[in-house]
Amino acid sequence: MTLYIDGHSERYELQALCLLFFAGEGAALREGAPPDGDERFVHTRLHEEAEGLRLFVRVCLSGECREAGGSLPHTEDHIRITHAFARLLYPILCNLTGITPPWGMLTGVRPVKLFLRRLEAGMSPEAVENYFCTEQAVSREKARLACETALVQRSLPELDEKRVALYVSIPFCPTRCRYCSFVSQTIERAGHLLRPYAEKLERELQLLGERAGRAGLILESAYVGGGTPTTLDTPLLGRILAAVRKNFTFVPGAEFTVEAGRPDTFTPEKCGVMKEAGVTRVSVNPQSLCEEVLRRAGRPHTARQAEDALRMAREAGFGTLNMDLIAGLEGDTPETFAASLRQVMEWGPENITVHALSVKRSAWLAEERGTVLAHDTARESVALSCRMLMEAYRPYYLYRQKNTVGNLENTGWSLPGHESLYNVRIMDENQTILSAGAGGVTKLAAPDAAERKIQRIFHCKYPYEYISRFEGECAKLSEVEKFYGICPANVL
C-alpha cells in the first residue's frame, strides 16, 4: 500500500496511522498524487484557498474507493492539520479494512501521557475518557485503562532532578526464546564471555559510581536486567550486585530490582547474594504457565519451576515480586492464557505485567507471521487480563510498541504501594537513567524540565565489543559530569 503526501508535510504521523491498518504490508511514502493504474493507495492532499485550507483524502483498496474532504482555517499548527487528516481517513480505513484499532487514532507509544496532561489541566477523569473516545476513537475499555493508569501515576512521588535511575545490562540468557528480539547472547554461543564481561561491568560500575557521586546524583532505583541476569553464576552475580550497592548512594527506601526472568536460573544461593546486596524487588517471568506454550516458545522450564522460584523469593523476604505474562504466544488461547493469569494471581505477586507479543524484524516468528500470529487471541487475552486484574490490582504503567500483535499495549499492574518507579520514569523519559553494560543507553535529562533536553550516551551493542573496546566505552562516562556542569575527573 502506498501513502501519497500531496501539498503538505504530515507524512510520518499519517504513515503511523496507516500502519495501524496495514501493519504486515507496510505503507510506502510517495510525494504527489497517485499515478494512473495504482489501485492500492491512500492519497492525502492539502491546498490553500483564500478562505482557508482544503483537505482531501481518497483511499482505494483493490478496486473499492472512498473519499472525503474538509477544511481548516489558515494555520501552521501541524497537530491540527494531522488531526484533521486523521479524522477524515480513520473511518474510511476502518470501513474498507474491517479493522477497528483499539487505541483509535492514537499512534504514539505513551498514550498515558496524553491522558495525564488533560487530568493535570483540571479535566475530570470522566471528561478525559469521553474526550479520547469521541475525538480520537479510542475504545471505552482502553480509555478507561489509560485513565486509571494516569490517576495512579499522579499519586506517585514527584521527580527530583538529582534522584536518578541506574540500569545494569546483563545480555545473556541460557537459551533463546523463539519470539525474542532482544540482543541477548546464549550461553552456548557466548558462555566464555560471561566472566570477562562481568569483570568489565564491575569496573564500569565503579567508574560510573564515582562520576555520579561527583555530580551529586543518588539512586532512586537500580534495575539489573537483560537478558537474564541470573544466568550469571552465584559469585559473579554477587560481585555485580555488590558493585551496585558499594559504588552508588541510594535514597532511603530506593528500589533495587533484579530480573530472574527464567525461573530455571534462580537458586537459593542467588537469592542469598541478592538479599545480601539489598535487592528489594525480583521479577520472575514465566510468560505462560501452559507447558505446551512454553515448549513452543522455546522456553525450557516448567510452570512448577516458576512457582518454586516465586516461593523461594517470597521466603527470602523480597518485598515486591513481579511476574510477566505474554499474550499472543504461539499455541496459546484466551482460555489457556486466562488459566495462566488466574494461577499467577493465586500465587499473589505484588506486580503482574501483561505484554502483548512483539514481533520485530529480528524475531524468528516474523518469518512465519501469517500462520502463527493469532491477533484475535491476543486481543481477547488482553481484554480478559484487564477484567481479571482490575478486581485486585491497579494499572500503573502502560506503553505500546510497534509491531505488537493486535496493536495492543503492555501494562504493569500493581497492588497499591508496590508500583515500580523505575518502570514509570523510564516511560516518561524525564529522569536521568545511567546505564552500565553492553546495549545500555544512558539518558541524561535536563534538570530544567521545561527544556525537555535529553542527552544520550550509547554503549556498544554486543558483549564482545564491550569487552574489547572497554576503555573507549568508559571514556564516554565523563559526559555525565559535563552534563551536570562539573569538570570531569580523570578516573580511568
- Residues at the interface with ligand SF4 (CB under 6 A): 173, 176-177, 180, 182, 184, 227-228, 261-262
- What minimum distance in Å lies between the beta carbon of 357 and ligand SF4? 11
- What minimum distance in Å lies between the beta carbon of 155 and ligand SF4? 31
| Grid cell listed for 323 | 511476574
451 CB-near residues (< 8 Å, 6+ apart): none
Fill in the amino acid letter for 451: E
| Strand residue runs (E) in 152-306 | 163-170, 172-173, 185-186, 218-226, 250-259, 281-287
Rounded to whole angstroms, how far apart are CA atoms 267 and 270?
5
378 CB-near residues (< 8 Å, 6+ apart): 327, 328, 356, 357, 404, 405, 406, 408
Nearer residue to ligand SF4 within complex by CB, 56 or 172: 172
Nearer residue to ligand SF4 within complex by CB, 13 or 264: 264
Give the C-alpha distances (Å, rounded to integers) separating 25 from 1, 61, 328, 359, 370: 7, 13, 20, 14, 11
Nearer residue to ligand SF4 within complex by CB, 230 or 247: 230
Cα-Cα-Cα-Cα torsion 271, 277, 280, 281, nearest 10 degrees, comes to: -50
- What minimum distance in Å lies between the beta carbon of 488 and ligand SF4? 33
- What minimum distance in Å lies between the beta carbon of 301 and ligand SF4? 10
Rounded to whole angstroms, how far apart are CA atoms 189 and 237?
20
Nearer residue to ligand SF4 within complex by CB, 180 or 254: 180
- What minimum distance in Å lies between the beta carbon of 355 and ligand SF4? 10
Nearer residue to ligand SF4 within complex by CB, 112 or 357: 357
Fill in the amino acid letter for 204: E
- What minimum distance in Å lies between the beta carbon of 64 and ligand SF4? 40
| Grid cell listed for 115 | 491522558
Nearer residue to ligand SF4 within complex by CB, 228 or 435: 228
Nearer residue to ligand SF4 within complex by CB, 81 or 240: 240
- What minimum distance in Å lies between the beta carbon of 177 and ligand SF4? 3
388 CB-near residues (< 8 Å, 6+ apart): 338, 341, 342, 345
Nearer residue to ligand SF4 within complex by CB, 245 or 459: 459
Rounded to whole angstroms, how far apart are CA atoms 345 and 293?
19
Give the C-alpha distances (Å, rounded to integers) separating 185 from 120, 228, 350, 456, 458: 43, 10, 30, 24, 19
Complete DSSP assignment for 168-187:
EEE-EESS--TT--S--EEH
The SS3 assignment for 53 reads strand
- What minimum distance in Å lies between the beta carbon of 300 and ligand SF4? 11
Fill in the amino acid letter for 390: M
Nearer residue to ligand SF4 within complex by CB, 208 or 260: 260
- What minimum distance in Å lies between the beta carbon of 297 and ligand SF4? 8
- Say if residues 172 and 194 touch (Cβ distance below 8 Å): yes
Nearer residue to ligand SF4 within complex by CB, 103 or 266: 266
- What minimum distance in Å lies between the beta carbon of 447 and ligand SF4? 33
Rounded to whole angstroms, how far apart are CA atoms 84 and 383?
30
Nearer residue to ligand SF4 within complex by CB, 97 or 186: 186
- Say if residues 488 and 481 touch (Cβ distance below 8 Å): yes
- What minimum distance in Å lies between the beta carbon of 227 and ligand SF4? 5
Order of strands, edge to edge, in the sheet holding 433-436? 394-400, 409-414, 351-356, 320-327, 281-287, 250-259, 218-226, 163-170, 433-436, 441-445, 454-458
- What minimum distance in Å lies between the beta carbon of 478 and ligand SF4? 30
Nearer residue to ligand SF4 within complex by CB, 186 or 430: 186
Task: Report how far apart the first and last C-alpha atoms of the chain are (Å, whole number).
Answer: 53
